[in-house]
Amino acid sequence: MLRTLQDVGTEKRRGAAAARTTAARRSSPVSWGLAAVFLGPTLFLYLVFTVYPLFRTFYNSLFVLPTVNIEQFVGLDNFRQIFSTDTIIWPAVQHTLFWSICSALLEIPIAFLLALALYARVPGGRIFRLAWFAPMLLSYVVVGPIWLWIYNYDWGPIDAALRTMGLGGLARPWLGDLSTALPALIVVTTWMFVGFNMVVFLAALHSLPGDIIEAAYIDGAGWWRTVGWIMLPLVWPTAAALTVLCVIGKMKQFALVYVMTRGGPLWSTETVATYVIKRAFQWKTVDLGYPSALATLWFLATLGVTLLLVLTFQRRPQHEA
């Protein structure tokens, strides 16, 4: 009756095999026809509107298209020009990366704090949740003119308030000043997206196991220690995902810049996306080769940054509940 380790191992293997067989018997084979019916339309749209334009852009980047239906193969010449003679793309890259980093540093912590406030059931929580989330529902075309008015030097509320408080010296054309134009736009996107991040954080906080938090209280941990040592590590995967989304979103920022500043003053708010559009549609040429090369490089850069962020956040140890 003595059971050796070998017997235990054999039993385990037999049990696993039996479990696999049972599982195989339980799951019914997929009907490919049915899968095609349900997946087909979406896959078709994805191929037509995402995959094809992507590969077509890669293809166009190797050509110059001086007129309709004429393609001149230039190989990597467009890419060479980007690195050698283009003086606008590199400031645009700097602005875009600066925007991405600042947004992540602002949106994620602010959203977490707001979510924490709602989790702690501050009075008027429902109203605050709606008020903080509402900007997310507006499109850039609506947000842009609203903030153009807010930032207006003559009648905008910011400068009017400064003058009322006797600080008229601080009033300035926020979007017309080289040092404040880009930060002014960053404020706008922070205002827009902090609500979305807040809602996601709130869901994450509500899904935390209550017994761990109770245990922390029982052990004498105060509110902030509980937040810092228990809750924050547990919602870290959520924060990581939101950070990646935030950075990717700002790396393709176009609409707000186009509506509010068109890349000015003096290219100080030029982003890669706005520069690509200008080269493609406002450069007195129908050539899409060079802007396609810009778009291809930036696609690869965004992909690289995304992978880097994912790898970085994956290395952080996960605290299992």
Partner 1 sequence: MTKWLGRFTLGKRKPVESARPVLKRGWRSVGVAAVGAAVIVALASLGSVAPAASAPTVTLTWWSHFASAANNQKVLLNAARRYEQAHPGVAVKITFYEKEQLILALRAAFAAGQNTPDVYYYDNDMSEFITAGYAADLSNGINWSNEEPWAKEYFRRPGPGGKVGVWVLPIEKDTDELYYNKKMFSDVGVSVPSGNYQLDQPAFTAAVQKCVASGRSAFAVGVGDRPYPGTYITNYLLLHKLGAKDLLDLWGGGGRVTWNDPRVQDVLTYERKLVDMKAFPASMSSMKLAESHIFFHTQQKACMMPVGSWYTSRAFEPPDKSGQPKEFYGILGMMNYPALPGGAGNNLKFMQVDSGVAINPKSAHLQEARALFNEIAMPQTGEDYVSIAVAPTTLKIDPSKIRGEFAGYWKMYNAVNAVDKPAVVAWQVVMKPGMMDAYSQVINSAFPEGLISVADATKRLEEARTSGR
**Which residue, 152 or 302, has its beta carbon nearer to partner 1?**
152
Which residue in this structure is represented by tokens 């704090």?
A: 113
Residue placing its CB nearer to partner 1 in the complex, 98 or 267: 267
Specify the residue, 237 or 264, whose C-beta has the smaller distance to partner 1: 264
Least distance CB 222 / partner 1 (angstroms) = 48
Tell me how far, at minimum, the Cβ of 59 lies from partner 1, in Å: 15
Q: Give the C-alpha distances (Å, rounded to integers) separating 104 from 68, 99, 101, 110.
A: 42, 9, 5, 10
Q: Which chain residues interact with partner 1 by CB under 8 A?
A: 66-69, 85, 87-88, 148, 151-154, 173, 175-178, 262-267, 278, 281, 283-286
Contact criterion met (CB below 8 Å) for 114 and 132: yes
Amino acid at 238: T
Minimum Å distance from CB 243 to partner 1? 32
Q: Which amino acid is at 188?
A: V
- What is the smallest separation between the CB atom of 56 and partner 1, expressed in angstroms? 12
Q: Which of 320, 288, 307, 306 is nearest to 74 (CA)?
A: 288
Nearer to partner 1, 100 or 268 (CB): 268
For residue 95, the tally of other CB atoms under 10 A from its CB is 25
Closest approach of partner 1 to the CB of residue 269, in Å: 11
73 and 59 in contact (C-beta within 8 Å)?
no
Per DSSP, the three-state class of 41 is: helix
